[in-house]
A = this chain, B = another copy of it.
Amino acid sequence: MRDFSQDHHWLSINTATVRKSRGADLPLPQIIEACARRGIRAISPWRDQVAAAGLNEVSRLVRSHGLALSGYCRGGMFTATDEAGLKLARDDNRRAVDEAKELNALCLVLVVGALPGALAGKAAHKNLALSRSQVTDGIADLLEYAKQADMPLAIEPLHPMYAADRACINTMEQALDVCDQLDPSKSGALGVAVDVYHVWWDPKLQAQIARAGRSRLLAFHVCDWLTPTNDLLNDRGMMGDGVIDIPQIRGWVEAQGFAGFSEVEIFSTGHWWQRDAGEVLDTCIARHRSAV
């Protein structure tokens, strides 16, 4: 297992982590500057942040600072109530692949979607099996396009508490079943993003990480699970402040040969988004060394 205690060579910052500074929106160019200033070598930006700053400008900044993208957030949301909705999702995902390519991302992260309408508060139906089928079809379609672009797709299994509204792929096992179905040769074009926040509880985690193997472990995300957790979405903890044995999980991932970035992704309305972004980044660097 790599020694992270001496530097932050393998740290990546998911830019949602400093989406806000002292409660105010922080534009992506400023996030990039703040990361570069600290010798952070990689980021993972969100599409809305990129769109707000302009893809060309972000691409220029990323290149001029020599930043890697540990991933691009995000594709997915494949489910819909009709064919027109499915086509909209298909087209939008292709654009996400194009953007990821322009930014030279190591993978496009997929948050696959769940019951249509649920995120807005009113699910159109309760047929989770139908959503799962649409998701598999959506990934299959996108995979063909992404292969042409040489952009790996990383399915991110989300915590089961998001099964209704954000992602109906909720375990590593389920994600890997989809990988087996759509990419049986383990070409490297389709894999998983392992986010400790989503999977830490899973009694089969170690075994499924081993099953994934190096070719399907495309990204590794960290933060921590707080007790209590006061919000289902935006109360993630800084590494070391919660109950997840992050080094153990990193050890399992690295035992398979994963040697990429450890990406910090924290949504925290009440705490970290209220702090100064520079302080948050400094804390990420410190905790990357001490708690990851």
Which residue numbers of A lie inside 8 Å of B, CB to CB?
115, 118-119, 121-123, 126-128, 132, 159-161, 163-165, 168, 170-171, 174, 200-203, 225, 227-229, 232, 242-245
Contacts and interface: CB of A to CB of B under 8 A. Distances in A.
A127 B245 contact: yes
B161 A161 contact: yes
Given A126-B244, A161-B229, A170-B203, 7 more contacts: A115-B227, A119-B227, A127-B245, A128-B200, A159-B161, A168-B201, A171-B203
Given A203-B132, A203-B174, A243-B126, A229 B232 contact: yes
* Of A126, A163, A229, most B-chain CB atoms within 10 Å: A126
Contacts of A115: 227, 243
B164 A161 contact: no
A128 B246 CA distance: 12
Cβ-closest 3 pairs across A and B = A163-B201, A126-B245, A160-B201
A173 to B, nearest CB: 8
A245 B160 contact: no
A61 to B, nearest CB: 35
Contacts of A128: 200-201, 245
A163 B119 CA distance: 24
A201 B170 contact: yes
A239 to B, nearest CB: 12
Nearest to A245: B126
A17 B62 CA distance: 54
Contacts of A227: 115, 118-119, 121-123, 164-165
A119 B227 CA distance: 7
A244 B115 CA distance: 11
Contacts of A122: 227
Given A227-B119, A228-B232, A164 B243 contact: yes
B245 A165 contact: no
A119 B229 CA distance: 11
Nearest to A198: B160
Contacts of A228: 121, 165, 232
A243 B160 contact: no
